[in-house]
Amino acid sequence: MLPRALNSVRAGDPHANEGYKSVAYELARDFSGRQLDTVVVPTSRADLLAGIGRGFRELAAAGLIGREPRLVAAETAAAAPFTAALRHPDHADQERTRVAAGPTVAFSLGEERPCRQGLDALWRSGGTAVAVDDEAIMAEHRRLAAEGLFLEPSSAVASAVARAQARTSGGLVVAIGTATGLKGLVG
């Protein structure tokens, strides 16, 4: 067992984390010939974020992509430890960051502290974290549904952040959707 101070270093299932690299491989394949500028990932424990980051690092090291895209952790404002952590300039302070997690419509998201694997993925890619409040999440959720894309609110967080990133970046921005909106209807 790790000492309590090192708990933020722990990752999720290493097999799942390794498998998430395939998302980067699929994005590289699907956007072949185009440089991805930013990939926005709905983030809680950061397993998916870290796996995608590792996949892009492997692709860049093999010369299969020109450069790794910047990763962005999309969080709910009700629990945004990565957003809070990145306000600190020192990495050690970032790792010690804690927030109070509150209720949110993005029920699949929300942690009280950032995981080291997520911070590492953001540091390596020159990335950032952005928090979105419930009102903006639900507005994006409804907008996507009106266009025929029914995602759970947690995935709408990434779409809302990607939309804002695309307005300012001038590059190709991709949002990762992690679950259908049907997930929230069962219960």
Q: Mean of the per-residue pLDDT values for the chain?
A: 87
CA distance 143 to 126: 30
Q: Is the pTM for the entire model greater than 0.85? A: yes
CA distance 62 to 107: 37
Phi, psi angles (nearest 5°) of residue 141: -60, -45
Residue 39 confidence (pLDDT) above 80: yes
Mean pLDDT of 69-92: 96
Residue 173 confidence (pLDDT) above 50: yes
Dump pLDDT digits (tens) for 54-66. Answer: 999 999 999 999 9
